[in-house]
Amino acid sequence: MELKLLITRKEIDAVILEVGKKISDDYAGKEFLIVGILKGCTVFMGQILPHIQGDLSIDFMTLSSYGTGTDSGDLKLLKDLDAPVNGRHVLLLEDIVDTGKTVRFVQEYLNDKGALSVEILALINKKQRRKDDDLYVKYFCFEYDQDEFLLGFGFDLNEKFRNLPDIYQLI
């Protein structure tokens, strides 16, 4: 396996600071819930939360994709939210939005539960394999439209490499 450095930790930190400020401005005066999609969200969420000001709370969901390797399959909800979303603004936090299948599934699920709004925040917005042309990722740190798989800073391959401090391409 060969890795190529794509985005350094210094670059990640600088952009996270900017995106955190934008979210803080947009949600000023609103109570909102940030929903992280486990497990990939953990590193990104831990880094961006200190840069988001406002009346927020957090919760998590876990979904399973019955695919193999780097392909995704059908989705199944494994862990639902503990917090109610009815009448609340929700910011859905994901490590990467690739095909859009996961965030679209969760966005529709939260809308059905009565969320006032559901916006998407992603570390990486990857449109190349997007199956849903109408999917809008309002907040993202980086765009990436290549075929290579990403590792590090929360991205994994078979549950490994999430702990790498930078983002790498698997080549």
* pTM of the model as a whole: 0.91
Give the Cα-Cα-Cα angle 43, 146, 98 (nearest 5 degrees).
50
Q: Rounded to 5 degrees, what are φ and ψ at 55?
A: -90, 85
Report the catalytic residues.
98
Q: Please determine, looking at this structure, whether the domain spanning 9-149 carries the CATH number 3.40.50.2020.
A: yes
Q: Give the domain ranges of the chain.
A: 9-149
Q: pLDDT digits over 103-133, tens only?
A: 999 999 999 999 999 999 999 999 887 877 7
What is the pLDDT tens value at each position of the chain, 171 positions in all?
Answer: 899 999 999 999 999 999 999 999 999 999 999 999 999 999 999 999 999 999 999 999 999 875 554 455 678 899 999 999 999 999 999 999 988 999 999 999 999 999 999 999 999 999 887 877 789 999 999 999 888 899 999 999 999 999 999 999 998
Contacts of 141 (CB under 8 A, 6+ apart): 12, 15, 16, 19, 122, 123, 124
Q: pLDDT digits over 32-44, tens only?
A: 999 999 999 999 9
